[in-house]
């Protein structure tokens, strides 16, 4: 069986049923990592270069020579370190950023490309609040690409936003379930963080009644950061690669742990 997307939460009941069988499950991991990494960097630039202010100045015919920030020298914090996070780290490196990653198991921090400067997380046992605080307090830009599972529900909430630096940016493009949207809205309204970009939400499509629509300094997109011209081509290429592996008796390219959900 194959899930077209990297996240298999949409077929959670099906994957749990498969867990009781010998039928393998694969996903679209890696197919859309490049486009999502571009989205993360775009969002970081959106706030660092104050694009809304620039647009407003043009409309107001205002010559406003304000000081612009840059990404070079800043720290990117990655919550989760799968294919999306690795692709984001590559682009961040090109901008001269330092990279810190939070992993569920820090002992498995294989990094042959040398993309990460520091890995935080447990070597044995669950992720603790101290691990999360270490990343959120150090990063200028935090990118969350966690899957949607029972364990990741509201993984990012008030404590995490409260730990972030003044002027920092939060970006979510994994699964909306991982972010406490009410806590994010509160952090934005209180000015605890400078801005946020969300491409994924707990409920999709996002209801018109959601407070997120009225949140200040929020870049909001309709879960289409990866919906590029080559979307279907890239997705089916991963499926075809797994099919070839299966038919040739080779290890599957993107196997899913059916019980873990990713």
For the chain, 262 residues long, give each residue's pLDDT as a single digit of tens.
898 988 788 776 676 777 788 899 999 999 999 999 999 999 999 999 999 999 999 999 999 999 999 999 999 999 999 999 999 999 999 999 999 999 998 987 678 999 999 999 998 899 999 999 999 999 999 999 999 999 999 999 999 999 999 999 999 999 999 999 999 999 999 999 999 999 999 999 999 999 999 999 999 999 999 999 999 999 999 999 999 999 999 999 999 998 888 8
| Angle, in degrees to the nearest 10, between helices 33-48 and 83-94 | 50
Residues 223 and 198 sit within 8 Å (Cβ to Cβ): no
Q: Is 223 a catalytic residue?
A: yes
Q: Determine the pLDDT at residue 109.
A: 67
Q: Is 104 a catalytic residue?
A: no
Cα 257 versus chain centre, distance: 20
Catalytic residue among 223, 229, 237, 244: 223
Residues 232 and 253 sit within 8 Å (Cβ to Cβ): no
Cis peptide before 115 (omega within 30 of 0): no
Residues 124 and 71 sit within 8 Å (Cβ to Cβ): no
pTM of the prediction?
0.92
Rg (CA), the chain: 19
Residues carrying CATH 3.40.50.720, the chain: 1-32+231-262, 34-220
Q: CA–CA separation, 111 vs 115, rounded Å?
A: 7
What distance separates the 2 farthest-apart alpha carbons in the chain?
66
The dotted CATH code for 1-32+231-262 is 3.40.50.720
Catalytic residue among 138, 175, 181, 202: 175
What would be the CATH architecture of the domain defined by 34-220? Answer: 3-Layer(aba) Sandwich (3.40)
The phi, psi pair for 219, rounded to 5°, reads: -90, 120
Catalytic residue among 70, 204, 244, 259: 204
Q: CA–CA separation, 244 vs 255, rounded Å?
A: 13
Q: Is 241 a catalytic residue?
A: no
């Amino acid at each position: 069986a194959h899930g077209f997307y990297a996240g298999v939460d949409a077929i959670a009941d099906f994957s749990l049923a498969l867990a009781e069988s010998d039928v393998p499950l694969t996903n679209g991991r890696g197919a859309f990592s490049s486009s999502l990494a571009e989205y993360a960097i775009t969002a970081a630039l959106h706030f660092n270069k104050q694009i809304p202010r620039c647009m407003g100045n043009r409309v107001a015919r205002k010559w406003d020579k304000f000081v612009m920030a840059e990404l070079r020298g800043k720290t990117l914090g990655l919550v989760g370190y799968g294919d999306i996070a690795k692709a984001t780290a590559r682009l961040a490196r090109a901008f001269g950023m330092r990279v810190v990653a939070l992993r569920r198991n820090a002992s498995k921090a294989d990094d042959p490309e040398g993309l990460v400067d520091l890995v935080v997380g447990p070597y044995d046992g669950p992720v603790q609040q101290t691990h999360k605080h270490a990343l959120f307090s150090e990063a200028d830009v935090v990118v969350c690409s966690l899957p949607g599972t029972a364990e990741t529900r509201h993984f990012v909430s008030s404590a995490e936003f409260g730990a972030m630096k003044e002027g920092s940016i939060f970006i979510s493009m994994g699964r909306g379930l991982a972010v406490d949207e009410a806590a994010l809205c509160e952090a934005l309204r209180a000015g605890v963080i400078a801005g946020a970009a969300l491409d994924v939400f707990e409920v999709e499509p996002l209801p018109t009644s959601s407070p997120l629509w009225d949140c200040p300094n929020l870049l909001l997109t309709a879960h289409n950061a990866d919906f590029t011209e080559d979307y279907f081509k890239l997705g089916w290429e991963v499926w075809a690669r797994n099919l070839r592996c299966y038919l040739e008796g080779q290890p599957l390219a993107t196997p899913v742990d059916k019980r873990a959900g990713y």
